[in-house]
Amino acid sequence: MNPRHHFHLLCLPMIAGLAWPASAMAQSQPGIHQEVPSDIQINITPRVSLRDQPLDIRVHGLRPLELVTLRAFVPNLAGCAFSASAAYHADVAGNLVVNEHPAISGSYRGIDGMGLITALSSDDKICEEEVYTSERAVASFTIEFTLIGENGRALGKSEVTRHSHVASQPTAREPWRTRSSIGTLYYPARERAQHTVLVLPGANGGIPAGYAEMLAAHGYTALALAYFGLDGLPPTLDEIPLEYFTSVIDELLQHPRAVGERVVVIGTSKGGELSLVLAAHAPAQIKAVVAYSPSALVWNGLSATSSSWTVDGQVVPFLFFDFASLPATPIPPFVLLPAYINALKNSTDEDRDRARIAVENIDGPVLMLSGTDDRVWPAVHFGDMVANALARHDHPYPVVHHKYRDAGHMILAPAYRPAAKTSLSGAGSLGIEFGGTLEVNAHADADAWRRVLDFLQTL
């Protein structure tokens, strides 16, 4: 027998009594010759982790410069199978360190220690897009890793489990149903929360549960709030009353798991616009803002011709962008950026001033995150507009606008999401081009999440 035909699984931290017979580990992934050799060691740490924690993936015992493929497989993520694979060369000592050695082909290329995770994809594109846009049913999932030799034979296997919380930091959740509001509340199950956070989705709508749950895992009480598109809420992002949000904040601050007299508001895209609008409208309720890919102006919703927001029954002044101004495109995804650029060019100074968010009314620090290749709207320009307006008014709190070179519109958190995308095809949603590349966007996701956690620690 080939001296390599026995396999040691080293996956730290080790769990007492855990054993993975080669025959058992060889059963899960079809299409791979199931011969498991042996002085090859696969070390993946940590074996059980939060979904925003990076993995350290190492392989030892290969031949010098041996070409191998590492495959990641998730048998059940939101009811679908997901997979990704990449080929690497071992170094001259026969070692492979995924966050140091480049992938030369496969689902991603270059050096990216989490490339196999963010590149996970499914043949079911509707399921895939739901996982990406709403994180449906991805609170916990197991990833099976298989190392494959040039001859197609399995050289080793391992697996890890990713969670939205771990046993040492359990979280609790409650459905949020009041007279008119819908969401999900998350909070630390054992410890007192550090801050209370309101999490707002963008134009895709729904309940941004994944983000709020990860905040809870890091010690925050977080309400993931829907504001249109669900039963009992307005059907479209059109003339949403700001009183809806101020009422929710009042109720949230009365919850026994809430902390403090004001909340932090976090929003993405249209939710980023909304977070700035709310903080300017209700500074007595909001102590800080995080705005991903925000706008400095109020716009109409994607399906509407009126303002997205109202106050006291009156529409908030807005600029209108028109789909008719887009270049003729036979099939999605659509690049919305030209419509916003045209609206800015065709508007007067007075139009823009009326639609400008009065950010000088914000009473707290502001963190903005944007990508230079945003193809939805010019978020970098908008973020600069906000920062400049605050500087002109001698804003007494920190204002940070971090710009990610070549990243697109969908800078999302938590970090290391599966099913990363640069566009939606329209399968189950409006087809929109976001911009950026998978690799650049994934790095922006991870860095932005760290910046948000650091920002919250400073409050």
pLDDT 10s digits, 397-420 = 999 999 999 999 989 777 787 777
**Which CATH number is 171-457 given?**
3.40.50.1820
Max distance between CA atoms of the chain, in angstroms, equals 81
Confidence class of residue 285 from pLDDT cuts 50, 70 and 90?
very high
359-373 per-position pLDDT tens digit: 999 999 999 999 999
Distance CA 347, CA 304 (A): 19
- pLDDT score of 329: 61
Judged against a pLDDT cut of 90, whether residue 334 lies above it is answered with: no
Residues of the chain with CATH 2.60.40.2240: 7-163
How confident is the model over 129-183, as pLDDT tens digits? Answer: 777 665 544 568 899 999 999 999 999 999 999 988 766 678 899 999 987 899 9
At residue 43, the pLDDT reads 96
| 340: pLDDT strictly greater than 90 | yes
> Which of 410 and 273 is assigned the larger pLDDT?
273
State the pLDDT at residue 27. 43
pLDDT number for residue 198 = 98
Burial track 113-139 (b if 16+ CB lie within 10 A, e otherwise): bbbbbbbbbbebbebbbbbbbbbbbbb
Q: Which residue has the tokens 């920002």?
A: 455
- Mean pLDDT (the chain) is 87
Query: In the chain, where does the domain assigned CATH 3.40.50.1820 lie?
Result: 171-457
Query: What's the pLDDT score for residue 414?
Result: 76
CATH superfamily, region 7-163: Acyl-CoA thioester hydrolase/BAAT N-terminal domain (2.60.40.2240)
Q: What pLDDT, on a 0 to 100 scale, did the predictor assign at position 80?
A: 86
Whether residue 395 is predicted with pLDDT greater than 50 in this model: the reply is yes
- 237/32: higher pLDDT: 237
pLDDT of residue 167: 63
Share of the chain above pLDDT 70, in %: 86
Residue 3 has pLDDT above 80, yes or no: no
In this predicted structure, what is the pLDDT of residue 144?
97
